[in-house]
Amino acid sequence: MRTKGMIIGSVVVLVLALGVAAWAHDRGAWGHRFGGHDPEARAGRLLALLDNDHFKSQLGLTDQQTNQLRQIVVNTKKSSIKTRADIAVRELELRELLRADNPDRNAVLKKVQELSNLRGEMMKEHVEALLAAKSVLTPEQQKKVRSFIESRHSGRSEHRQMREHPGMPGHPPAQPDNAPKPPNE
């Protein structure tokens, strides 16, 4: 019986650790090194691209497509803000439950399930938005978007490699420890 309790306790700790990791990832707390992305910033960049005449002409977006895509982004952003607020409240409630000397196991697990459901709901909303956006674009426009995204990602990974591996061929030379840091770092 004691072994069963230890296993259940270990599972709860693991679930909580994964929850904290997901929370940190959602908030961009891990930064670019661990692939964290701020959903608010991403939505803002998408909206800015939809206002960029050069981008719209490169993709061949009509005004109707632009308006439909804008509405998808705005609706998804509004929904995400609400869901993230619900997640933050549940996380606070979970922390308070866990502060007790003898936490109510059922209440804790129920709160973990609520958090899991909210995160799943957010993922589903984002996938539905992606599917809706794909339905607005022609197959050719979808290829152009993929190409645009891939070129931006490869540029970021090259930049990251240059920062992480200075002095390698094609990378800037390593700076001595006492060298002044550039202002943006």
Residue ranges of the domains in the chain? 62-140
The token pair at 11 is 């599972």
The predicted pLDDT at position 146 comes to 87
Tokens 């794909």 locate to 134
d(CA 9, CA 135): 45
62-140 CATH, one of 3.40.50.300, 3.30.110.30, 2.40.30.10, 1.20.120.1490 = 1.20.120.1490
The token pair at 66 is 């632009």
E runs forming strands in 23-104: none
pLDDT tens-digit profile, the chain (185 residues): 555 444 444 334 434 444 444 444 444 433 333 334 666 777 888 888 888 898 899 999 999 999 999 999 999 999 999 999 999 999 999 999 999 999 999 999 999 999 999 999 999 999 999 999 999 999 999 998 888 888 877 766 555 555 555 554 444 555 555 555 555 54
Q: Is 36 helix (H, G, I), strand (E, B) or coil?
A: coil
- The whole-model pTM stands at 0.60
> How would you classify residue 136: left for phi > 0, otherwise alpha for psi between -120 and 50, otherwise beta?
alpha
Tokens 């001595």 locate to 176
Tell me the HSE value of 163 on the side-chain side, using a 13 A CA sphere. Answer: 12
d(CA 137, CA 129): 13
CB contact at 8 A, 171 and 161: yes
